Structure 1
Amino acid sequence: MKKFHNIENRDAVLAYDAVEVVTDESGEPVTRWDGRTMKPSPVTGEPVPDETARVPLMRYTNARKAEWQTADYIVGNPPFIGNSRMRDALGDGYVEALRRTHDSVPESSDYVMYWWERAAQLVREGKTRRFGLIATNSLRQTFNRRVIERHLSEEKPLSLIFAIPDHPWADTLNGAAVRISMTVGEAGEREGTLGNVVSEARGDADELSVELVERKGKIFADLTIGADVASVVTLKANENISSRGVSLHGSGFIVTPDTAAELGLGRIAGLENHIRQYRNGRDLTGTPRSVMVIDLFNLTPEQVRERFPEVYQWVLERVKPERDQNNRATYRDNWWVFGEPRANLRPALAGLKRYITTVETSKHRFFIVPVR
C-alpha cells in the first residue's frame, strides 16, 4: 500500500484552535457528571447517577465549521447521537460551539444532521456530485426533516435519488437492534427510487435477510412518494386544540400498582389525584405495561412531604439524584415534578371523560380513542 496522505483522523464537523478547561473564580475546573457512570443507591439499591464520576467542562477556542476536502462522492455513517443525548455524549462546550457555528441547523436536530447539512450544501454548490449517508430512522421526523426540506425547496434544489426510510441494523458494538434510514442526494430536480422493507428475517449467524419493494417518483423530505404531506402549513383553526403529552425526565416517577398502594393510594385521601394510570408511546403502539405515574404538579415539596410522606421519600430517593445531574436548571430546581408538565394542557382536559391520542413518532399516523 502507498501513502497518499488522504485519510485523516479528525472531527468532521467542528474545527477549533484549542480546547481549554473551564475554571471557576478560584481557578478550579468546572465539572459535570459524565452522563454514563451509575452506582447503586445506598437507600434503594437501584442505579442512580454517580456524582463522583466527573468530567471537566471544556471551551473550544475559535470554533468554526470543519473544512471538507474536495471529492466527487461523499459516503458516511455518522454517529447515532440524538439531540437529547448530545450534551451527555459530547459535552456542553462542544455542543454549544457546534450549534453556534452551524446556525442553519436547528438546535432540535440530531447529530447526524450536521453531516447531512454539509454534504447537501456541497452537492448543491456543484462541488460534489452525490452524497450517501446512513442515519437513524428519525431522519424523517419533524425536527430533522426541516434540514432536508430546506435543501429540497431551494431555488437550486437538491433531490433525493435513493432512499430507504426504515431498515434494520445490528449495532456490532453492543448487539442492539436499531432502525436506520439511507439517503442519496444529487443536485437538480430529479425523481428517485424509494425502497420500503416488506419483510425481514434474522438467520442463524445473526445475519439479516431483508426484502424491499421499490417505487420511483419524487421523494419528499419525509422519505415518501406521493402527496407531499411534509410541506403542509399550520392550520390556524387547529391552534391550541392539541398538545404534546407530558415528558417525565425521571424514570422514578413510574410505579407499579402494587408500589402505588404501598405509597398510600387507596389509603391516603387525595393521593388518587396524584398517582394515576400512565401510557407512553410504546405502551400505545405495543403491549401496555400497566404502570402508574406519580404526578405532583402544582404542589410544593413541603406540601408533598406533609400530605404524602411516602411519596415524597420515593421521589427524593429515585428522582432527585438523576435530576441533580441534569444540565437544565429548571429540571434540577423542580426535581419533584415532570420535566415538561404541560401546564397549558391540564386545564384543557379538565372535565373531559376522554380524549384522543396519537403517537408522534409512530411509523403510521393512527389515533386512539378510549372505550367508555
Structure 2
Amino acid sequence: MPGKKADAEAFASRWANKGNENQDTQRFWIDFYQSVLGVEDAVSRLEFEKPVSTDASAHEGYIDVFIPSAKTLVEQKSLGIDLAKEETRQGRKVTPAKQGSAYAQGMPLSQQPRYIIACNFAEFWVFDRERDSLCREPLFKLPLAELPKNLAAIQFLKGGAEAPATISRAVSVEAGKIMSKLHDLVAEAFDDPDTPENHHALSALMTRLMFLMFCEDSGLVAPNAFRDYVSHFQAGDLRRGLKDLFVWLDTKDEDRDKYAEPWLKKLPYMNGGLFREKTEIPPLSENFRHTLIVEGCQEFDWSGVSPTVFGSIFEGALSHDHRRANGQHFTSPENIHKVIDPLFLDALKAEFDEACAKPVAGGARTRALKELHEKIGGISILDPAAGSGNFLTESYLCLRQLENRILFELQGEQAWFSFEDSGDRDVLVSLKNFHGIELEDFACCVARTALWIAEKQADTDTAKVTQRVYQELPLTDYEGIVNANALRIDWNDVVSADEVDYVLGNPPFIGSSRLEDAQKEDRTAIFGKSAGLLDYVACWHKKAAEYMDGHRVRCAFVSTNSICQGQQVEPLWKPLFDNGVHIDFAYKTFVWDSQASDKANVHVVIVGFSKSPDMQPLLFSSTGATKADNINGYLSNAPDVFVEKRRQPLCSVPKMSRGGGAGDWGFLTLDEAEAHRLLTSYPALEQYIRPFSMGSEFIKGINRYCLWFAGLSGAELSKLPKEIRDRFDEIRKLRLASPRSGTQKRACAPWEFDEVKAPADGAFLAVPQVSSGRRKYIPVGFITNGTIPGNKLFFVEEADLYDFGIISSQFHNAWMRQVAGRLKSDYQYSNTIVYNNFVWPSPSASQKDEIRQCARDVLEARNAQRGATLADMYSPDKALFFSDLMKAHARLDAAVESAYGVDFGGDEERVVSHLFKLYAEKVGE
C-alpha cells in the first residue's frame, strides 16, 4: 500500500509555494522520502551534490539528488523555474531533464540511472531513459498539490519497481489491488462464492462500494460521508448497515425516514438503478471493515481513477480461469484509441479544425461549429461485447471533450451565440446514445456505473467552460447496457441499425480449439457448417456485417490476429467481401496491453470495416499509417485473394513434405542419454539408431535419436533384443486403445513410426514448423547425417543452394508472416499454405548464380560461429554478435529482390503486396 494520503497532504501543504534549489533541496527530498514514501532510512538512500563529468572534456557537474536504489537522478530547480525552458549549462542550452540526462551519461555504465526527475518544488516531471534516451517527453507530470491522490504513481522511488507509463494507470492498478483485497475478504465469508447468485451479489457489492468511495472523493457526496457511515458500525453489524444504506440510497427524498440517523442523512438519493436490487451480503470481518475504512476510504483517493479502466479494476474480482473461459480482456485506453481514432475521432477533430479556420465575419465559423456540435450530439455507438464498458466510456469521454472545445470556441463569440439562446441544450452528447450488449450481468452493472462516473467527470469539466451548474445526483436512469448473449439476439432489438453510426469493441478472444460446447453452438448458429476452425471472435464480425446491411454503419473490432492469418482468412472474409464488406482500416499484429496486473499475452489486430465506399483505406503498422488501394483479408495492401491449402507447389520447384509422426509414446524416440545406454548395452543396434529431429531440436541444436526399423523383415525383427521387442508390445497396446481408427490400424506395425516419412538418401533441406515470431528469418538449413524428420519439421529432398537462398530470403519470410497461422506470436509454417502457394521468381542464369553465391555466404557465416546454435544466431537479442550473418542475409535479400525484377529497398509491405499480385495472377491463369 502506498504512503498515507494524510501524510502526503501535510507534505504538500508544508511545501506549497516555496522552495529554493540551494537552500531547500536536501530538506525537501528527505521530507518526501520520510513523510510521503514512509522510508525511515531516507538519509542513507539519498546522495546529494554527487560530482560527475558531463562530457569528454571532463567538465564537472553535480547531481542534485541521486537515488541508487530507485535508479533515479533528480535535477532540482527553484520554485517558479519553467521545467520546459532551456538554459545554458556548461556552454550549451538544455532543459533540466536533458541536463540530468547528460549527468547520467557521464556516470559509469553500471551506475547510470534509468529515470530522470526534473523538479521545481511545485511539479515532478518523470522521464524514462529506456523509452526516450533524449528525455524529450516525460512519462508523466505530477503537480505537488495532486500528490496525495496519486501516491501510487511515485512508489517506484522506493526501489525495485518500474515507473508507470501514466499516472492514471498507476492509480487504477492500485485501486484494483484494494478492490481485489476487499473482494477476497467478502468471498471467503460466503458459503459458496462461486454459485451464480453469490457471484452476482459479490460483484454488485464491489461495484457499489467503489462507486460510493468515488462519490466521496470527487465531491458528489459530503466529504467523508461514506467513511463516517461505515465507521459507525462494528464488523458484526456492518452487513446490516450496508443493506440499510443501499435501501436508503435508492429511496427518494420525499419517501425517506425523517428520523433517520444523521450519518445516514448525509448521503443523498442516488437513483439510476445501481442500488435498486436487493442482493445478499455475508457476515463481514473486522479485517474487511478496517480495509474498507482505512485503505479504501481514508488512504486512497478514488477521484483519480479513470472510468475508462473502471472495468479493469474489477479484473481483481474475477478468477483468471473465469476470465479466460469467457474470453474477457480489458483493453488499455491507448489501444482503445487505435480503434476509435481512425473509426470516427480523427475525422471529427479534423472537422473541428476546419470549422475553427472558417471566417468569423458573416457567422460561417459559428454555423460550422454549431453544425458539428449537433453532429457529435447525435452520434450513436454500439458495443456488442461491452464487458465493463471500456470502449463506450472512452468514446463518451472523448466526445464530451470535443464538445467542450466546441462550447469554448462558441463562448468566445457571444455576438453570434449564447447558451441562454439554446436553453439547457449546451450538452448534446448523451448517455442515451451509448449502447452495449454483455453476457455477464455483473459486467453490465459495472459498465453502467463507469458511464455514470464518466458523465459526472465530464459535467465537471463542462461547467468550467460554460459556468453552469449541472445536476450531480440523483443519477439518471440508464439502461443502455443489455444483459444478453450478443450471438443469439437481433442487435436491432437493442438499438436499430438506423440509429447507430458505429459498432466497436473487443469481442471474446477464444481460439477454436478452446471453445466450450455452448460457444460452438453459438458459432454454428452464425456460420453453419462453414464454421470450421474459426475463432469465436469471428462470430461478431459476421453479425456486424449483417447488422450494417443497408445502413451507413461502420465497425471496428480488436481481434486475435489468427482471423487474418492461415486457414481462417478465407471462411471469414470471403463471404463478407462477397456481401459488399470492405476493410476501411487495419492495424497489423501487435501485443495487446491490459490495465490488469496479470496481463494476458495476446497478439491482436484491429480491423475497421463497413459497406460504405467513401473512406480512404489506411493500413497501420509499427512505423505509422499508409494509404492503401485495397486492404485484403491478410491485412495487406493487395487484391482480395485467398490462399487455400494446395497439395502441390504453384511453381515448378522441389516438393516439400512434412516429417512423420512417431505415435510411439516415447518408446521409439530417444534422448541422448537413452540412445547412449542402448548402444552400450546392445552394440548391434547402432545401424538402427538414427538421429531424429523436430523443429525445436533443429533450431536449438539438441541431439535426439530414434529407433528406425522401417522395412525390416519379420526374421530381422524377431532377432532384436527383448527390451526392444517389449517396446513394440507397449506401442501395439496403446495404438489399439486409441480412439483414432488410423492409429489403430498402425498397431499391426508397432516397430515403425505412425507415419513413415524419411528422405531416401538421408539428406534434405530442413524447415521448422514452429519458430519465434520475433525472428526476421525462419532458420532453415541442410541436414546430411541421415536424420529422421519428425512431424514438426518439413523437408525438401532435392533442394540446392538456390532453393535454400529463396526460402531463407526476406521475400519468402514476408510471405510466410502474412499467410501462415500463428500460435500466440510463434510462426506456424505450413507446406500446403506457405510453401505451395509461394510464387517464385523467374531469374536469369546470372541472377540464379548470384543467389547461390549469397546463399553460400550465409552458410559460411553460420559455420564461422562455432558452438552457436541457430537459436543463438537468429535471436534478435543477439544480432549484434552475429552481424556478419545478418549482412550476408541482407546481400541475399537484395539478390532475390533483383530476381523478382523490383527495387523495394527491403520495404516488407511492398514485398508482400507484390507477392499477392503475383499470386492473384498465377491462380488466375
Q: Per the shorter chain, which TM-score range? A: 0.5 to 0.7
The answer as to 2:603 corresponding to 1:179 is: yes
Please state how far the C-alpha of 1:241 moved relative to its aligned partner: 3.4
- 2:690/2:706 contact within 8 Å kept: yes
Please state how far the C-alpha of 1:233 moved relative to its aligned partner: 9.0
**Aligned partner of 1:369 among 769, 781, 794:** 781
**Aligned partner of 2:724 among 297, 302, 308:** 308
2:764 aligns to what?
354
Please state how far the C-alpha of 1:236 moved relative to its aligned partner: 5.9
1:37 aligns to what?
none
Please state how far the C-alpha of 1:222 moved relative to its aligned partner: 0.5
Please state how far the C-alpha of 1:221 moved relative to its aligned partner: 0.8
The answer as to 2:509 corresponding to 1:85 is: no
**Mapping 1:59-208, distance limit 5 Å:** 66-68=489-491, 69-70=494-495, 71=497, 72=500, 73-86=502-515, 90-91=516-517, 94-96=519-521, 98-99=523-524, 102-103=527-528, 105-123=530-548, 125-127=549-551, 129-151=553-575, 153-154=577-578, 156-170=579-593, 172=596, 174-189=598-613, 191-197=616-622
| Residues 236-287 of structure 1, C-alpha deviations (whole Å, 9 max, x = no match) | 665993445557899979864335545x36655558867743333x667xx5
Task: Kindly provide the amino acid, as one letter, of the partner of residue 220 in structure 1.
Answer: N
**CA distance, structure 2, for counterparts of residue 122 and residue 293 of structure 1:** 56
**CA distance, structure 2, for counterparts of residue 144 and residue 109 of structure 1:** 6
**Aligned partner of 1:12 among 486, 503, 508:** 486
| Residues 301-324 of structure 1, C-alpha deviations (whole Å, 9 max, x = no match) | xx99965378679989xxx8xxx9
1:310 to 1:241, Cα distance in 2 relative to 1, 3 A: same
| Residues 189-242 of structure 1, C-alpha deviations (whole Å, 9 max, x = no match) | 554111112xxxxxxxxxxxxxx4211111111011146664689596659934
**CA distance, structure 2, for counterparts of residue 178 and residue 112 of structure 1:** 13
Task: Kindly provide the amino acid, as one letter, of the partner of residue 160 in structure 1.
Answer: I
| Residues 93-151 of structure 1, C-alpha deviations (whole Å, 9 max, x = no match) | 6425633652164311122112222223323x134611111112222212221144314
**CA distance, structure 2, for counterparts of residue 80 and residue 247 of structure 1:** 30
**CA distance, structure 2, for counterparts of residue 309 and residue 164 of structure 1:** 56
Task: Kindly provide the amino acid, as one letter, of the partner of residue 625 in structure 2.
Answer: E
- 2:586/2:619 contact within 8 Å kept: yes
- 1:105/1:113 contact within 8 Å kept: no
- 2:507/2:559 contact within 8 Å kept: yes
**Aligned partner of 1:213 among 618, 621, 624:** 624
Task: Kindly provide the amino acid, as one letter, of the partner of residue 131 in structure 1.
Answer: C
SS at match of 1:163: strand
Which stretch shifts more, 131-140 or 98-107?
98-107
**CA distance, structure 2, for counterparts of residue 169 and residue 227 of structure 1:** 28
**CA distance, structure 2, for counterparts of residue 265 and residue 283 of structure 1:** 21
For this pair of structures, how many residues does the alignment match? Answer: 286
2:477 aligns to what?
3
Task: Kindly provide the amino acid, as one letter, of the partner of residue 757 in structure 2.
Answer: R
1:357 to 1:78, Cα distance in 2 relative to 1, 3 A: same
Q: Which has the higher contact order (CA 8 A, sep 6+)?
A: 1
Task: Kindly provide the amino acid, as one letter, of the partner of residue 554 in structure 2.
Answer: R
- 2:558/2:605 contact within 8 Å kept: yes
**Structure 1 stretches lacking a partner, 5+ long:** 16-65, 198-211
| Residues 30-81 of structure 1, C-alpha deviations (whole Å, 9 max, x = no match) | xxxxxxxxxxxxxxxxxxxxxxxxxxxxxxxxxxxx4323452222212222
**Mapping 1:214-233, distance limit 5 Å:** 214-217=625-628, 218-226=630-638, 230=642
SS at match of 2:574: helix
- 2:631/2:639 contact within 8 Å kept: no
SS at match of 2:567: helix
Task: Kindly provide the amino acid, as one letter, of the partner of residue 626 in structure 2.
Answer: R
**CA distance, structure 2, for counterparts of residue 7 and residue 329 of structure 1:** 46
1:188 to 1:245, Cα distance in 2 relative to 1, 3 A: farther
Task: Kindly provide the amino acid, as one letter, of the partner of residue 540 in structure 2.
Answer: W
1:246 to 1:193, Cα distance in 2 relative to 1, 3 A: farther
Please state how far the C-alpha of 1:180 moved relative to its aligned partner: 1.2
**CA distance, structure 2, for counterparts of residue 173 and residue 271 of structure 1:** 54
Please state how far the C-alpha of 1:10 moved relative to its aligned partner: 3.1
Task: Kindly provide the amino acid, as one letter, of the partner of residue 178 in structure 1.
Answer: V
TM-score, with normalisation over the residues of structure 1?
0.57
- 2:763/2:783 contact within 8 Å kept: no
- 1:256/1:290 contact within 8 Å kept: no
Which stretch shifts more, 141-150 or 107-116?
141-150
**Structure 2 stretches lacking a partner, 5+ long:** 1-474, 712-717, 785-925
Question: Identity of counterpart residues, as a percentage?
Answer: 18
1:43 aligns to what?
none
**CA distance, structure 1, for counterparts of residue 771 and residue 533 of structure 2:** 15
| Residues 340-361 of structure 1, C-alpha deviations (whole Å, 9 max, x = no match) | x884x726x3345113526478
1:79 to 1:103, Cα distance in 2 relative to 1, 3 A: same
SS at match of 1:214: strand
**CA distance, structure 2, for counterparts of residue 233 and residue 182 of structure 1:** 25
**CA distance, structure 1, for counterparts of residue 642 and residue 740 of structure 2:** 34
- 2:509/2:559 contact within 8 Å kept: yes
1:233 to 1:371, Cα distance in 2 relative to 1, 3 A: closer
SS at match of 2:583: strand
1:170 to 1:295, Cα distance in 2 relative to 1, 3 A: farther
* Backbone CA RMSD of aligned residues: 4.9
**CA distance, structure 1, for counterparts of residue 721 and residue 519 of structure 2:** 40
1:356 to 1:276, Cα distance in 2 relative to 1, 3 A: closer
**CA distance, structure 1, for counterparts of residue 559 and residue 663 of structure 2:** 25
Which stretch shifts more, 360-369 or 74-83?
360-369
**Mapping 1:275-294, distance limit 5 Å:** 276-280=691-695, 288=700, 290=702, 292=704
**CA distance, structure 2, for counterparts of residue 249 and residue 106 of structure 1:** 29
- 2:560/2:604 contact within 8 Å kept: yes
Flag the structure with higher strand content. Answer: 1
